Chain A
Amino acid sequence: MTGARRPVQCRVVSGDSAASAAARPAPRTLSPVFRWGAALLFAVLVSDARSLTLPASLLVLAGGLGIWWAGKYAPMVAPDAPAAAIGVATWAIVFGTFAVWELGAFVIGNNDAHPTFSMLFDPVLSFGPTRALCALGWLASGWYLLGRRPNP
């Protein structure tokens, strides 16, 4: 078999731009079945993994690396028009206020009287089905963020 030769492939492309575009290899993207299957498997596994355990840590690590890897196969999109400075500033105030409030609750108390956002979320994350939904939401937000590559 070592002497077998692979047939030479030729592409005939006309001058038409549409034909030229069709002749270009399609960008590699992940199929939706693969993406959904992996996300559902991740959610089911996370629902069974308790916090502060090695399996939970490894699963989150795998989810993060998976989204990073999937982002490499994300389709290219045209960059959006730049957002107005006032719009960016308004969102910065909202995110900043949330961070300050969370930090304040953590420094002042981090207890029942001054609960942090994480503490308030603990009951949701300690119940299997809602924990699975949160895991799915986390992956979905990651895909939303990294699933589009701005075309430079």
Chain B
Amino acid sequence: MAGVGLVPPRPAPEPVTRAVTIGGFVAVILAGVVLEVVAKRPASRVASVGDVLGQVMRQRTGRVLVFVLWFWFGWHFIAR
């Protein structure tokens, strides 16, 4: 009983930080979806993700870079 007062203050509750972290991922993914929908509208100034990747992959270096990134995703999520 004597040690009750020595308990250190608790850090931020785990569920809060977890929710904030997950919320950040959801927000970024939603932003990407909204951007793609906007890009598909006629006369939109925003490029779709396909247009951007197409532009990057016009050159061989960009094509190799995108391939390496794509391969890393597979390695990280499936093989890892």
Contacts and interface: CB of A to CB of B under 8 A. Distances in A.
Interface of A: 46, 51-52, 56-57, 59-61, 63-64, 67-68, 79-80, 82-84, 86-88, 90-91, 94, 97-98, 101-102, 105, 109, 112-115, 117-118, 120-121, 125, 131, 134-135, 138, 141-142, 144-146, 148, 150
B66 to A, nearest CB: 6
A125 B78 contact: yes
B74 A60 contact: yes
A24 B29 CA distance: 46
Contacts of B41: none
Contacts of B55: 80, 82-83, 88
Contact of B51 (A87, A94, A145): A87
Question: Taking chain A's interface residues, is the majority helix, strand, or loop, or is none over half, making it mixed?
Answer: helix
B35 A150 contact: no
Question: Taking chain B's interface residues, is the majority helix, strand, or loop, or is none over half, making it mixed?
Answer: helix
Interface residues of B, number: 38
A59 B78 contact: yes
B46 A138 contact: no
Nearest to B17: A113
A145 B39 contact: no
B57 A145 contact: yes
Given A82-B55, A94-B28, A138-B78, A68 B67 contact: yes
Top 5 closest pairs, chain A to chain B, by CB: A87-B47, A83-B47, A60-B79, A83-B51, A113-B14
Contacts of B63: 146
Given A101-B28, A138-B73, A51 B78 contact: yes
15 contacts: A52-B79, A60-B75, A64-B75, A87-B39, A87-B46, A88-B55, A90-B35, A94-B28, A101-B25, A114-B18, A125-B77, A125-B78, A134-B77, A141-B70, A148-B54
A93 B31 CA distance: 10
